[in-house]
Amino acid sequence: MLAEITLAVLGGVVTVGGLYHCYRYFCGLQEIKKNLAHFSYVAEYDAYLDAQPQFFVTQPKQPYGVLFLHGFCVSAQVFAPILDELRKENINFYAITFTGYGMQCPNLLEVVRYQDWLRDAIRAYDVLAQTVEKVHVVGSSLGCAQAMILSRYREVDKMVQLSPAMYLELEFKWFVRLAGVPIIRNLLCWLYPFYTKKFCRDRKTRLDLCSVHSAKTTFNAATFPIHVGRAVEKTLKHVDFVLARFNELAVLYGKQDQVVNIAVYLKRLEKFHIKYVSKSYENSAHLITMDYDSEQVTRDVISFLQTAKINT
C-alpha cells in the first residue's frame, strides 16, 4: 500500500511539474512575442528585418554572380568542379553550407526547421546581391527545392537544377512522409533516433554515385537524426510552382539516379507551363557534379549561366 501511495504521489508531482513547465514555457514565448511586437517580423522564414545581417562593398558590381545551394546531408563541396571554373573566370559566387551540416555534432540537425534553411539561403542571396547586378542560383538535390522557395522572396535570373529532389523514389518518399506525421516521427526518434542510408542497389556505397572513388571522397553524412526528416518534409511541402519566379531554367540529371523520379518532376513543370531546357548524363547517378560525367556537367552549367544554352 505504501509503495502504491508513493508512486501515486510521485506521479502527481511529475504531472504537476510537467504542466507547470509547459505553462511557464508558453508564457515565456508570449513574452518574447510581446517584447518584439513592434519590430518587422517575417513569419515564413522566422526572422526580424531589423536584425538582418548588414553587408556593404565599395567596388563596382559584377554583371552576375552565382548562389549555390547543396542537398541533403552533403555540403558545398559537391559543387567543387564548377566553383573552380568560376574562380578562373573571376565570377562572384557564394556556396553556402546549410544549418546543421558540415558538423560532427548532430544537435542542430535534431532541431533544425525548414525556416532555418530558407533563412540561410535568403541571407546568402542578400550578401551576394550586394556585389552583382543579377543573381543566378544553382541547386543540387534538395537544394533545388530551396531554390524554388527562395525565388518567391528574391529575384532569380537563371536557375540550374541538378538532380532536383522534389519527387523521391520509394525509400526516401516514405521516410519523408513518416517524418511529416508528428506521432510516428516522435516514436521513431525515441526508438531509433538515427538513420543510416542503405547501400545503393548494385553499388558498394551509401552515396548515390556510379563512381566508387567519388562516393568515398565526397563529404557525406550517411547517418543523421530521424528528426531532420521533418525539415525535409516541410521544405518539399513549401515548393510552389505557381509562386516560383525565375527567367531561365535548366534541369540536369543522371540516368542512373536512384534517389529522385525525374520523369514525374518534368511532367510537373510542363503541367504548370514552366519552360526549361534539360539534359541527362548516361554515366552518372544522383550527384552528377561528382560522378563520371563531372567535366561535361561543369561545362554545361557554365554554358547555361553565360548563354542560357546547354551543350548538346
Based on the fold, state whether residues 172 and 286 are members of the same structural domain: yes
Query: pLDDT tens per residue, the chain (312 residues)?
Result: 667 777 777 777 777 777 776 777 677 667 767 767 777 788 777 778 776 677 677 688 999 999 999 999 899 999 999 999 999 999 999 999 999 988 888 888 888 999 999 999 999 999 999 999 999 999 999 999 999 999 999 999 999 999 999 988 766 677 777 777 777 777 777 777 888 887 777 777 888 898 989 988 898 888 888 888 889 989 999 999 999 999 999 999 999 998 899 999 999 999 999 999 999 999 999 999 999 999 999 999 999 999 887 876
Give the pairing type, strands 156-162 and 277-281: unpaired
Q: How many CA atoms lie within 13 A of 124 on its CB side?
A: 28
What per-residue confidence (pLDDT) applies to 170?
61
d(Cα 1, Cα 206) in Å, to the nearest integer? 56
Kindly state whether residue 148 falls inside one of the protein's structural domains. yes
Domain membership of residue 53 (yes or no) is no
**What does the pLDDT read at residue 46?**
77
Residue positions counted in the chain: 312
| 48 inside domain | no
**How many separate domains does the chain show?**
2
Residues with Cβ < 8 Å from 158, sequence gap 6 or more? 136, 137, 246, 247, 248, 249, 250, 304, 305, 308
Give the pLDDT confidence score for residue 312 in this predicted structure. 65
- Residue 282 is assigned to a structural domain of this protein: yes
Q: Which residue has the cell 537544394?
A: 143
Judge whether 59 lies within some domain.
Answer: no
pLDDT of residue 55: 65
Helix axes 114-129, 142-150, angle to 10 degrees: 60
Q: Do 9 and 110 have their domain in common?
A: no
The angle that helices 182-191 and 170-179 make with each other, rounded to 10 degrees, is: 100
Domain of residue 10 covers 2-38
If one counts every other C-beta atom within 10 angstroms of the C-beta of residue 300, the result is 23
Answer yes or no: do 303 and 219 share one domain: yes
21 shares a domain with 115: no
6 and 137, same domain (yes or no): no
Quick one: 18 and 71 in the same domain?
no
- Would you say the pTM of this structure is higher than 0.95? no
Q: Is residue 302 part of a domain?
A: yes
| 111 in the same domain as 8 | no
- 113 and 242 in a single domain? The answer is yes
Same domain (yes/no): 145, 290: yes
- Does residue 98 share a domain with residue 20? no
Q: For residue 117, is it within any domain?
A: yes
Closest CA to 67 of 254, 246, 265: 246
Q: Both 7 and 94 in a single domain?
A: no
Strand pairing report for 223-225 and 132-140? unpaired
pLDDT of residue 30: 78
| Residues 205 and 100 grouped into a single domain | yes
